[in-house]
Amino acid sequence: MKANLALIILFFAGLIISAISPHDYFTWFLEVFPAIVGFIVLVITYKRFQFSQLTYIMVLLHCYILFIGGHYTYAQVPLFNWIKDALHQSRNNYDKLGHFMQGFVPAIIVRELFIRLAVVKRSWISFLTVCVCLAISAFYEFIEWFVSVTSGDSGDSFLGTQGYIWDTQSDMLFAMIGAICMVIFLAKLQDRALKNVAQISTS
């Protein structure tokens, strides 16, 4: 409980700091909105279903990536501007990190739900986890498209294509890569975390 309280404090600290003089408040709100919705959902469902500590930590990390993107916009994060110049890249690629995490962190959540709720057979979990995360990424691209169409120039910072015509497709690719990396590299660590959850619930 103390660990979760610390995560909540860190969440609000990051949210508040990101809201101090952002690039523009319209973009800030659009970028941090998923984090706020996710926080509310986790709070509402906490008594009925508590995720492992690993999942909560990774969710917080994803929220911080959203907070940074909301504060600066994904096309103007200073560190990635420096990386762009140092590596002679044509664009600020912070948004690719964001979309990688958009696959990686949901994969942790989806995989834990699949395992603990016995939704599907174990042999199908990895494949379906990646599929669900890719669907989430595609749905988010629909949202970006809708916001851009309805808000005009105001939505350009949120869309963040930076003139790259294949931005939507590459965003979904990075989300898929993130989900695949999670099921390959973090599955065993998550399995150990889930054993701890099972031991706590039965004690």
pLDDT tens digits for range 123-159: 999 999 999 999 999 999 998 888 888 876 656 666 6
| Angle, vertex CA 65, rays to CA 138 and CA 141, nearest 5 | 15
pLDDT of residue 12: 98
Tens of pLDDT, residue by residue over 153-179, are 656 666 666 667 888 899 999 999 999
Number of domains the chain contains? 1
**Positive/negative CA dihedral, 36, 38, 39, 45:** positive
> Six-digit token pair at 158?
């949120």
Q: How far apart are CA 203 and CA 200, in angstroms?
A: 5
**pTM value?**
0.92
pLDDT of residue 198: 74
| Structural domain span for residue 121 | 2-202
Position 199 confidence tier, pLDDT thresholds 50, 70, 90? confident
Residue at token pair 């990386």: 83
Q: How far apart are CA 117 and CA 200, in angstroms?
A: 17
